[in-house]
Amino acid sequence: MNKKILITGSNGTLGKELKHELDKNLITFFTNKKNFDISNFSQMEKFCKKNRPDLVINTAALTNTILAEKNNDLAYKLNYLSVKYLSKLSQKYNFNIIHFSTDYVFDGKKNKKYKETHKPKPINYYGYTKNLADTVLLKKNKNNCVILRVSLLYSLFGKNILTQIINQIHSEENMFYVNDIICSPTSAKNVAKFCNFLILNDIKLKGIYNFVDDGYCSRFEFAKYIALKLNPEKKINRISSKDLNQLISRPKSSILENKKLKNKTNFKINSWKYNLRNLLKNFNSEVN
């Protein structure tokens, strides 16, 4: 198999999972800021011209919502302009794109699951920039791009909610997690496996698909479940989002419906508890 796959942001959580899950027979370019800076169009073009990828899996983004709120320019550059650059390069060098969006493009005020057809209405700057990126891809790359909308990615690799909770559980630190923000926690490992599934089966999805584990919970419930598996004596304190005193609005209920993806492919989607339980079974103290 001689397909050439370029992965941006390979040092991040999803990038690291892709290193483990992509078929070893694929020709892969795991790039980072040093060799494929997504804010540097000329560097990006030079790399694409030289290596001619068939597919770009774009995992690079500014996902720190508080930082995005504080530094709008940086969020705009990394979450929108970079995608606009990729869009332009894909048209010139004829490669497909797998891009990742977020449940934060919604305001979280519906009392039901969000479908791909629901109109975005972001309430923070992170969601705003991600929606801008989705919009440009849907307009310019409707025939060669799939947008996978994910939610609260967790993994044993990198900095994410799971590694944060594990570190806190094994420390003397008091733990506080909100109980009034509900979403669909999703295994980054499963996302990476799905990307590999699409590539090996030559499945070219188009448009937006919600890719989330089945089920939903609050961050408090998520942390509590992990503590029960790893350290049942650890106390998890339940708080409201108002108690955080963070100058950022977050969607209160951003549960994503994944029926469209299930109907389109035969890829197995499990519950967040099932996927999380499997990760924790093999957990050891040396988290990468």
Residues 6 or more apart from 58 whose CB is under 8 A from it? 8, 9, 38, 82, 83, 86, 97, 98, 99, 100
pLDDT of 246 > 80? The answer is no
Cα–Cα distance for residue pair 58/114, rounded to 1 Å = 23
pLDDT of 282 > 90? The answer is no
φ, ψ of residue 257 to 5 degrees: the values are: -90, 130
Cα–Cα distance for residue pair 180/239, rounded to 1 Å = 8
Amino acid 178 reads V
What topology does CATH give the domain 4-154+185-216+255-269? Rossmann fold (3.40.50)
- pTM of the shown model: 0.95
Q: Please write the tens of the pLDDT for every residue from 70-102.
A: 999 999 999 999 999 999 999 999 999 999 999
pLDDT of 287 > 80? The answer is no
What's the per-residue H, E or C state across 160-217?
CHHHHHHHHHCCCCCEEEECCCEECCEEHHHHHHHHHHHHHCCCCCCEEEECCCECCE
pLDDT of 1 > 70? The answer is no
Mean pLDDT, rounded, for 198-205: 95
Averaged pLDDT of the chain: 95
Beta strands 182-183 and 217-218 are: antiparallel
Q: Report the run of H or E that residue 147 belongs to, with start and end.
A: strand 145-150
Domain boundaries, the chain: 4-154+185-216+255-269
CA 112 to chain centre: 22
